[in-house]
Structure 1
Amino acid sequence: MATNSPAAGEAATGKLSVRTKWALAGMVTGGTLAGLVGAGSSALAVYFARRVITPAARPADQEVLAVIQSDTGRQVILAATPDTTVDGVFSLFFAGGAGHARIGRIVSYSPAEQTVLREVEEVYSGNLADARRGWWSGATYPDPAALGVAADDVEIKVDGGTAPAWLVRAYAAASAAVWAIMVHGRGATRLEGLRAVRTAKELGMDSLLISYRNDGLAPSALDGRYGLGSTEWRDVEAAMEYAVAHGAREIVLFGWSMGGAIALQTADLSKYRHLIRAMVLDAPVINWVNVMAHHAQMNRIPYNVGRYGQLMLTHPLGRRLTGLSAPVDLKAMDWEARAVELRTPTLVIHSVDDDYVPFEPSASLAGKNPEMVTFEPFHGARHTKEWNVDPEKWERLVRSWLQRMLAPRNNPGSAGQPA
């Protein structure tokens, strides 16, 4: 979601025409904000708004310096960054995403040279020795088989066609009564949910790892824009419909980052919301206004410009500049303000050093609705990498919490029993 300079914004959106400037000036009845930004700032506001909702390829911003063979196995020397200096298990994607290596523990770190030496646990595809740049990811495994679990490739009917998904069965002979539906985050794919599959399987849940509009696998939305949860929840509802048609009686939603925002909208709006037994949200977006304000500040975008960018997303007249087919209702997705309306038991896991989606709204949601929301802070995991830095803790927390949520209800024969 990070943006660049005003010059980069103008390059991305083109020169503002007189007509466009007038459109910007007229976006708010009475000109409440129109007088607060000039033409250059308007260009930056347009760019900022479009960056939030426009799918884009992951930048290869991680430098690969060398791959060496030692007595203990293969190792890689990387440029030291805030990501590569966090201990744990991660992925390095390279060769435009065609290459994928699982990177393990830190062997040594040189602050003076700004390099870090790490173990290479597995190369799933590509030639790591030829890699010069790539991107870092918490999506550690390439497919269910890499986890040692069998999966079926299934297709889910969604707007515009079908969306591929992986179905991991808890039992070979029959469907489970409770299904876990894994909802990945913005700019990620269904690989993100693989980290939760073993825990779900241990609890007797079938797992459905879905794709949704604009993620590169599912059909794109007609406008080619993210709805930040306001449109994507319909694809989760379609996945729930598939699950119910194939034996599910209850659902547990897992969501990472924007996937958390999508899960919250699903629990609020779906016709199947009564089937959602619980939600597990990892570094979720609870309040988009907070996230956007954070990114504006992080990129040194003036406050009024950032607010103007938000306004473009929410006002009908902003569509001509953002490309959205309909405004995004950020207020409806502010679960910090709507905390008491959340009636689905929810576990929120969030690292306190998350510099992409600040943790404070997650803690605030739990503080305002402790009956429904349990907040579990992590430290040193940055964004959505809580499992990567401490998989044992993540799995223990999720397992113990879900065991309580999935315990049989008072009525005999409850559908809440895992299987």
Structure 2
Amino acid sequence: MTPLLDRLRTVRKRRAVAWAGAAYAVAVLLGALVGAEITLRSKTRWVKGVFVPVGRRGNDLFLPASVETLSRGPLGLVPLRPNRGHAVLGRHQMAGTVVKRPILQQRGTLPNGALAWVSTYVYNGTPAQLGVKYEDTVVRTPVGDMPAWHIPPLNGEGDAIAIVIHGHGGQRAQALRMLPALLRSGVGSLFVTFRNAFGAPQIGKGYLTLGDVEAEDVLAALHWAKDAGYTRAVLYGFSMGGNIALSVLRDRHRPYPIPVTGVMLDSPALDWRATIRWNAQRVGLPRPIARHVGTFTQWLVTKRSGQDFDTVDQIRAAPTFDVPILLWHGTRDRTIPIDQAEALAAARPDLVEYHRVEGAKHIRTWNIDPKGYDAQLEAFIAKVLPGIKEDRHG
């Protein structure tokens, strides 16, 4: 009987190992399929935020406690229809079990009891939410017209423009927090979109190239700026938009329609291989599985779209950059690891002005210290666009 029992135990162990291996393979495959789809085609219609009931007493608003309403720095609030309005809220304090925030700025009606969108992105509409005049326009490219917002310099005399580039799955409204500082600096602004992003034309299967081909749409925006009378530009990219901005600096895109004298980067995706591995791990997968999911995701992305990850590895490309770079990244960024920003800053200390923002989440570096961020932005623009006429009333 003993040999028979030993044989049965051996069979059971082999089956257990086989089942474990199969389960591991399935987990890796499913994770990679999801990861590849998100990497290639992620886009959202709405700016991220939460919907909450709002209580009002005088100049104070009272909100349910949540990760968003307890976030550091300003919040934006937009009541749902039929109410019309927008508010910027100041720092929070607890009032019993609810969050109390003062109204810093208000446009329209903010009634007590309204259901409202609340977000650390502050704005979810157009520059009109800030009371700023703008024009809807399009950037014409060989693959279609890309929607854009143009905000001319307040003094009407500026010759420089900032091309503002949103990120992966993002929207133009996410950068409206920075528009007052851009206006004060004296530049015009063009908030652009790129192919396969929300609201822009879908090309082929709608796959993103993570900054590579999208750079051509920013080059088209520089042509738009030249035709509009601008003679120099800075690029301002958020997350994947930062990768797009740096991709524009590659030799194959030169000469530019107008000179690009500087680049500003907020929470940029600089190394997509590392970003994919990081995101596989942050969703809770054990490190060995996350590593395999990340590797297989990269393989799937390349298999489906032909993506060359070397072309969007901006750490590797750092020696080729030749314009000043202003860089912000937050220590609590769970989307893009901060070591990428630190690697770029270490690779090019001669070009990169790096601001490590303690406690900031992804694309929330402004929220931690709005005045400090704005001052850094305005000083950088004054440095790379000498002679620009600032507007201190912007």
TM over 0.5: same fold? Answer: yes
- Conserved in 2, the CA contact under 8 Å of 1:64 and 1:78? no
How far did residue 124 of structure 1 move? 6.6
Work out whether 1:371 is the aligned partner of 2:350: yes
Q: Secondary structure at the match of 1:337?
A: helix
Q: Indicate conservation of the 8 Å contact 1:86/1:381, yes or no.
A: no
1:236 partnered with 2:221: no
Aligned counterpart in structure 2 of residue 275 of structure 1, from 259, 263, 274: 259
SS in 1 for 2:310: coil
Deviation at 1:181, TM superposition (A): 0.7
Give the corresponding residue for 2:72.
87
Aligned residue identity for 1:279: V
In structure 2, what is the equivalent of residue 336 of structure 1? 315
CA contact (8 A) 2:271 2:340 kept: yes
Distance 1:353 1:334, change over 3 A: same
Shift of 1:401: 2.1
Deviates more, 1:57-66 or 1:295-304: 57-66
Match of 1:145 in 2: 128
Match of 1:77 in 2: 63
Aligned to 1:351, which of 304, 317, 330? 330
Give 2:368's aligned residue. Answer: 389
- In the other structure, the counterpart of 1:405 is 384
Q: Give the SS at the match of 2:328.
A: strand
Change (3 A) 1:37 1:332: farther
What do the CA deviations read for 1:301-343 (whole angstroms, capped 9, x no partner)?
31112211112112xxx21xxxxxx322222211222221222
Q: 2:199 is paired with a residue of what secondary structure?
A: coil
Q: What's the offset of the Cα at 1:300?
A: 2.8
Match of residue 5 from structure 2: none
What does residue 307 of structure 1 align with?
A: 295
* 1:63 CA drift (Å): 5.5
Query: What residue number does 1:195 align with?
Result: 177
How much has 1:188 moved relative to structure 2?
A: 1.9
Per-residue CA deviations over 1:58-114 (Å, capped at 9, x if unaligned) read 6898665532121334x2423421x43222223357869x9985451244338x96x
Instruction: Tell me which structure has the larger Cα radius of gyration.
Output: 2
Provide the identity percentage: 24
Q: Is residue 46–residue 312 contact of structure 1 (8 Å, CA) maintained in 2?
A: yes
Give yes or no for the alignment of 1:170 onto 2:156. Answer: no
Output the aligned Cα RMSD: 3.2
Could you list the runs of 5+ residues in structure 2 that have no partner in the other structure? 1-21
- Report the Cα offset of residue 291 of structure 1: 1.4
How many residues are matched?
361
- Kept after mapping to 2: 8 A contact 1:184/1:257: yes
Give the letter aligned to residue 52 of structure 1.
Answer: T
Paired residue secondary structure (2:236): strand
Q: Secondary structure at the residue paired with 1:375?
A: strand
The CA deviation at 1:288 is 1.2
Report deviation, 1:270: 2.4
SS at match of 1:162: strand
CA distance in 2, matches of 1:128, 1:211: 36
Report the CA distance between 1:135 and its aligned residue: 6.7
Q: Is 1:296 paired with 2:280?
A: yes
Q: Which moved more, 1:136-145 or 1:152-161?
A: 136-145
- 1:265 corresponds, among 223, 229, 247, to 247
Distance 1:94 1:328 in 2: 42
Alignment of 1:29-108 (within 5 A): 38-57=25-44, 64-73=51-60, 75-81=61-67, 83-91=68-76, 101-108=86-93
Given that 2:134 and 2:149 are in contact with CA atoms closer than 8 Å, whether structure 1 keeps it comes out as yes
Q: Relative to structure 2, which stretch is displaced further, 122-131 or 213-222?
A: 122-131
Superposed displacement of residue 137, structure 1: 4.2
Which amino acid in the other structure matches residue 305 of structure 1? Answer: V
Q: Which runs of 5+ in 1 are unaligned?
A: 1-34, 320-325, 409-416
Q: 2:85 & 2:130 partners in 1: Cα distance?
A: 15
- Normalised by the size of structure 1, how large is the TM-score? 0.76
Question: For residues 383 and 47 of structure 2, what CA distance do their matches in structure 1 show?
Answer: 42
User: Which TM-score applies when normalising by structure 2?
Assistant: 0.81
Task: Give how far 1:127 is off.
Answer: 8.3
> Deviations along 1:136-186, whole A, 9 cap, x unmatched?
341536322333332222221124431222211115655x32211111112
Q: C-alpha distance in 2, partners of 1:105/1:91?
A: 9
User: What is the CA-CA distance between 1:226 and the residue it aligns to?
Assistant: 2.0
Of 43-52 and 118-127, the range deviating more from structure 2: 118-127
**Superposed displacement of residue 199, structure 1:** 2.6
- In 2, distance between residues paired with 1:201 and 1:65? 32
Contact residue 152 and residue 188 of structure 2 kept, 8 A: yes
- 1: CA distance, partners of 2:184 / 2:137: 22
8 Å CA contact 2:75, 2:90 repeated in 1: no
Per-residue CA deviation, residues 204-261 of structure 1 (Å, 9 max, x unaligned), is: 3221111222332221222122221122111111111111122222110011111101
Q: Aligned AA for 2:298?
A: Q
Q: Matched residues in 2 for 1:299 and 1:391: separation?
A: 30
Secondary structure in 1 matching 2:274:
helix
Does the C-alpha gap of structure 1 residues 58 and 354 become closer, same or farther in structure 2, counting only changes over 3 Å?
farther
**Closer, same or farther: CA 42–250 of 1 in aligned 2, 3 Å:** same
